[in-house]
Structure 1
Amino acid sequence: MPDSKETFEAGMKVRREMFGAAGADDQIANATDFTRDMQDMVTRYCFGETWNRPPFDRRMRSILTIAMLVGLNRPNQLRVHIRGAIANGVHEDEIREILMHAMIYVGVPASVDSFMHAAEALKEVGRG
């Protein structure tokens, strides 16, 4: 099992390859006393461990990450990871299809659940 320093370096390698040396190194260089521990954890756990786990390659992890960020409505992180996805070999037409797929599965299931909960609440108050 790699130690903290090895995991950090592995994470920095992934970050540099996805976001460029400046993008990755700037995150660490610009960390404040308040954000330093968060940047360390993101580098080690997110990029050093998770992004390097088998069986998924970086391309597949980018696809999954984009879909999850759409579902979480995180536009800033989405922009960052779209750029990373391009670096990981995800094509523009694939990104469009991820967004189209997420549009249906992020929106429709939430709406269906909301209708079910609303119907239950209306029933509880003698309506519907």
Structure 2
Amino acid sequence: MAREGRTNQDSYDEGMAVRRQVLGATHVDRATNGIVPATADYQDLITRYAWGEIWTRPGLDRKMRSVATMTALIAHGHYDELAMHLRAAQRNGLTRDEIVEVVLQSAIYCGVPAANSAFAVVKVVFEEEPPTD
């Protein structure tokens, strides 16, 4: 359900804008160009709710949302999504040192095996591009 005064179209439009800013246009274009009838409702759902209703809320800045997202992905073993959100975290202003700290913190609360897997993803993502911080 859209926040008061907002339509589903507002949520979709704002969600798509935030999704592009956070994940990058290349990723979003690839996802939206790959929409088929079986995935259309899902893509609409995540654009409106995850991006248009949650990521646009004023309660947390994007850095904090990235920290929460990375931790949840590590905790649940979603390492393919983690790679995407490590890149997003850097777009959202987290430094590589801060990302490493999030993974170290996760080792204690999510488990060492989860952190081992997360650090393997961090290594690959960090090797893809030179550091910006």
TM-score (norm 2): 0.77
Query: Separation in 1 of the partners of 2:111 and 2:24?
Result: 33
Q: Give the aligned partner of residue 87 of structure 1.
A: 91
Query: Separation in 1 of the partners of 2:32 and 2:13?
Result: 12
Q: Give the aligned partner of residue 43 of structure 1.
A: 47
Runs of 5+ consecutive residues of structure 2 not aligned to the other structure: 113-133
Q: Give the aligned partner of residue 29 of structure 1.
A: 33
Deviation at 1:22, TM superposition (A): 2.1
Runs of 5+ consecutive residues of structure 1 not aligned to the other structure: 109-128
Identity of aligned residues (%): 38
Q: Give the aligned partner of residue 59 of structure 2.
A: 55
Query: Separation in 1 of the partners of 2:85 and 2:97?
Result: 15
CA RMSD of aligned residues (A): 1.1
Deviation at 1:95, TM superposition (A): 0.6
Deviation at 1:98, TM superposition (A): 0.5
TM-score (norm 1): 0.80
Q: 2:81 aligns with which of 64, 77, 81?
A: 77
Q: Which has the larger radius of gyration?
A: 1
Does residue 67 in structure 1 map to residue 71 in structure 2? yes
Deviation at 1:38, TM superposition (A): 0.6
| Count of residues in correspondence between the two structures | 108
| SS at 1:95 equivalent | helix
